Amino acid sequence: MDKQTEKPSFFTRLATMIVDKRNLIFFLYFCAAIFSLFSRGWVAVCNDITEYLPATTETRQGLTIMEEELTTFATARVMVSHVTPDIARSLAERMESIEGVSSAVLGGSAGANTTADDDAEETPEDIAAYFKGADALISVTFDGEEDDDISLSALNGIKELLEPYDFYIDSPVGADQADTLGQEMGVILAIAAVVILLVLLFTSRSYAEIPVLVITFASAALLNLGTNFLFGEISFVSNSVTVILQLALAIDYAIILLHRFLEEREHAGDREACITALSAAIPAISASSLTTISGLAAMMFMEFRIGFDMGMVLIKAICLSMLSVFTLMPGLLMIFCKAMERTRHKNFVPSIDRWGAWAVKLRFIGVPVFTLCLVGGFLLSNRCPYVYGYSQIETARQNEAQIAQQRINETFGPQNVMALLVPKGDYDSEKALLERLETYEQVDSAMGLANIEAMDGYTLTDALTPRQFSELIDMDYELACLLYSAYAADQEEYGRIVGGVDDYTIPLMDIFLFIHDCKEEGYVSLDEGLNQDIDDLYEQLMDARVQMMGEHYSRMVISLNLPEEGEETFDFLKTVHAEAERYYEPDSVYLVGDSTSDYDLSVSFARDNVMISVLSVVFVIIVLLFTFMSVGLPILLILVIQGSIWVNFAFPGITGKPIFFMSYLIVTAIQMGANIDYAIVISSWFNELKGSMSKEQAMIRALSLAFPTVLTSGSILSVAAFLIAKITTEASIVGIGECLCRGTLISMFLVMFILPQMLYLGDRIVERTRFNLKFPEHERSSLLSGGTVYVSGRVRGRVSGIVDATMHGVIHGEVSAMVETGDEEHSKEEEHETHT
């Protein structure tokens, strides 16, 4: 045999190594799976969405100050039903005696402890604030912050106390969002697994294909969960939905390799078929994944950093899915290949040739209608009612905490509490500012150290002379002067001592705390009654101080009677700033709360919306340009998918149903990156087939060939998204599920009906805008005197021998063969002889 051989391509050598080293790869995957089972518990999950606000926003800066300088004791609103006022008062007193509970008061707002007189006579309005019908409201303040064990223990004590009653507790204490979502996603994943099995069974060619795909999916998902710890901390959104979206987004990759393998087995052995299929699938799948990765990468440019977090985790998930398909799945195919042969079944996927013919015939109706829908979708999607908090979002299911919050809000109204941070030290300005804020009808209450009453009408920050102080607490005047002199020495104000302290004024809170310290250190002795009064005041004063005064800032607590978000609320936030800036420098004032967080998110969304839309389109167009070598084709594909996005978000614009802003940004990126694959599959088949048959037949055939892929991937993605929308109780994730489910179904319809019409009508534009990039070509030749040759790639030249293969292309010359399946078409320019 005279034979000149060529060096195998890189992908062929790589595929050969993967197939031949499959046992080693199985061992490595087994070790990685064991490791991932342990490492998945190392992942830190952040439940606070404000952590992902840009560092320059007012909310993020204010929260940082409060975390560093101030203590925020945990609170709870407790509603007890079917009780009398006397029972409610008794329960409040018993709650206050529970270890870890600082205070429990009827009605009101849990916040800083005060020393105000609680024996004042209640008005009917006061009673109505905490007692409506047979429901009583008790506001609880704990001794620790919301994550402290003492707060959780106290909350459990309250639940035990209220066990005989109907009660609802609204509190961040013990509300582990990550655990709740984890349980919900476990249910979703179980149902989704059943759905995926049914879909794969319906679209498969043999029953033994299913375990190959399932093992590949499960391995990729487990590896992704087990490597999330590399990021240190991820958001609760990424932690909850990544597995579901990973399975839905990456299922195409395994199906592409499976179908390639089955085709190659028709004319080659198992090993050769697996090597050939893998060497061809690696570049094809890698190119296909670029569109999905491009859409996800666009999210990473969001100013709201949760987009970066989710894009990073999902891109890793896509890459690990490809890795599993490229390395693990070939070995599984070798193991199950004989079982696939024995378990073949009839094709359950129906022929859609009639659908294709109908779609092509209606092209002069469908395209104009789609154009109108495109314009209408664009206009209506711009009217989409975005929201930036959870107060207006309704979920299909509610967890226990959400039910409690809703019942309390319906009975006693929602809370909208803000924290105003100002530079500390100027008590007069603080008092004046609080008085001005309380004049606004939008403010229910404004509380700070400067207006918390200590005793006899004096507030904590009122400055008293020795005479006034001695009269207030019935202390000997000479002793008061001595204490004032000691305070001046402690503060190094020696001039006060020399000039006399008769007119020296000290804030009431400061002198009380100083006296307590002197008493504890043994420098001063007080009579038993005064000593007890000082001790009683000390703990309350310290609680108020650590909550309301830090090293550099003082905090005021403002309760608004406005909704959490909306134009009126956002406008009033500016009013509060304007009032504060009467007394302080503009850059030194921070307003923090749910409303300011929503406002900052709305500002961030305005930029991120444009960024995501532009970058996702640009990235995908770049990938498509180099995939199809045409300018016109990417534009047609983008029009269809962008149209599906606009139509998708036109529905909230029509119904007026609020949609969480983050859902829009994430779904826009995923829909553009993932659903474009459906359009690519159809376009690729059409471009390949139109050279060997008429355009109409090519389009009908392309739809038939692409339908199983679109059906499999689209149905799994839409079902997974639907389950997320209907089962999870997290408002932001519900929106992602709803919009992604609806968007995927719209995309499937448009690519199977409108896209064929646009490709058919725009074919001339596509061909005229084609371009070529010259790459160095490697000449390959094989001179044979006999034997068998397996070829994968482009062949140009003459073949003398027997051909047994599945072919797509044009043969110039004479053909003497039997066509078992498929069609043959004779060119009008050249004459062919066909014997069948």
What is the per-residue pLDDT across 526-577, written as a single tens digit (0 to 9) for each? 777 777 777 777 877 888 888 888 889 999 999 999 999 989 999 999 999 9
Q: What would the mean pLDDT of 457-465 be, rounded to a whole number? A: 86
602 has pLDDT over 80 = yes
pLDDT tier for residue 782 given thresholds of 50, 70 and 90: very low
In 3D space, the residue among 402, 417, 412 whose CA is nearest the CA of residue 79 turns out to be 412
Give the Cα separation of 761 and 72 in Å (integer): 65
Most confident of 160-169, 267-276, 291-300, 604-613: 160-169
Q: What was the pLDDT predicted at 671?
A: 81
Q: What was the pLDDT predicted at 789?
A: 46
Q: What was the pLDDT predicted at 808?
A: 52
Q: What was the pLDDT predicted at 190?
A: 83
Give the Cα separation of 431 and 462 in Å (integer): 9
772 has pLDDT over 60 = yes
Contacts of 187 (CB under 8 A, 6+ apart): 727
Q: What would the mean pLDDT of 118-129 be, rounded to a whole number? A: 63
Beta bridge partners of 458: 455
pLDDT tier for residue 491 given thresholds of 50, 70 and 90: confident
The mean-pLDDT minimum among 285-299, 514-528, 731-745, 777-791 falls in: 777-791
CATH architecture of 75-172: 2-Layer Sandwich (3.30)
pLDDT tier for residue 822 given thresholds of 50, 70 and 90: very low
- In this prediction, what percent of the chain has a pLDDT beyond 70? 89
Give the Cα separation of 44 and 228 in Å (integer): 9
pLDDT tens column, 135-147? 999 999 998 888 8
List, as one string, the DSSP characters of 196-246: HHHHHHHH-SBTTHHHHHHHHHHHHHHHHHHHGGGGSEEEHHHHHHHHHHH
Output DSSP code: residue 300: T
pLDDT tier for residue 377 given thresholds of 50, 70 and 90: very high
Q: Is 223 left (phi over 0), alpha (psi -120 to 50) or beta?
A: alpha
pTM of the model: 0.77
Higher pLDDT pick, 193 / 312: 312
135-142 vs 75-81, strand pairing mode? antiparallel
Tell me the two tokens of residue 327: 């390395």
The mean-pLDDT minimum among 430-434, 517-521, 522-526 falls in: 522-526
Q: What was the pLDDT predicted at 572?
A: 94
List, as one string, the DSSP characters of 312-334: HHHHHHHHHHHHIIIIIHHHHHH
Cα 330 to chain center, whole Å?
Answer: 34
Q: What would the mean pLDDT of 497-519 be, rounded to a whole number? A: 83
Angle subtended at Cα 434 by Cα 141 and Cα 454, rounded to the nearest 5 degrees:
55
pLDDT tier for residue 112 given thresholds of 50, 70 and 90: very low
Output DSSP code: residue 771: -
Helices within 581-658 (DSSP H only): 594-628, 632-655
Angle subtended at Cα 600 by Cα 598 and Cα 602, rounded to the nearest 5 degrees:
70
Q: What was the pLDDT predicted at 775?
A: 46
pLDDT tens column, 381-419? 988 898 988 888 888 888 888 888 889 988 888 889 999
Give the Cα separation of 140 and 168 in Å (integer): 13
Q: What was the pLDDT predicted at 138?
A: 92
pLDDT tier for residue 29 given thresholds of 50, 70 and 90: very high
3-state secondary structure of 777: coil
Output DSSP code: residue 770: B
Give the Cα separation of 442 and 421 in Å (integer): 19
Residues 796, 809 contacting (CB under 8 angstroms) = no
773 has pLDDT over 70 = no
Three-state SS for 394-429 is CCCCCCHHHHHHHHHHHHHCCCCEEEEEEECCCHHH
Q: What was the pLDDT predicted at 11?
A: 84
**What integer best gives the mean pLDDT of the chain?**
82
119 has pLDDT over 70 = no
The mean-pLDDT minimum among 241-255, 293-307, 427-441, 683-697 falls in: 241-255
Residues 228, 43 contacting (CB under 8 angstroms) = yes
631 has pLDDT over 70 = yes
Q: What was the pLDDT predicted at 682?
A: 86
Contacts of 145 (CB under 8 A, 6+ apart): 71, 72, 73, 74, 151
Give the Cα separation of 506 and 121 in Å (integer): 32
- In this prediction, what percent of the chain has a pLDDT beyond 90? 26
Q: What was the pLDDT predicted at 323?
A: 92
Q: Where are the domains of the chain?
A: 75-172, 454-549
Residues 756, 682 contacting (CB under 8 angstroms) = yes
The mean-pLDDT minimum among 31-45, 609-623, 689-703, 764-778 falls in: 764-778
In 3D space, the residue among 157, 163, 138, 53 whose CA is nearest the CA of residue 99 turns out to be 157
Q: What was the pLDDT predicted at 79?
A: 93
Tell me the two tokens of residue 804: 């047994």
pLDDT tier for residue 126 given thresholds of 50, 70 and 90: low
Give the Cα separation of 664 and 383 in Å (integer): 13
Q: What was the pLDDT predicted at 809?
A: 54
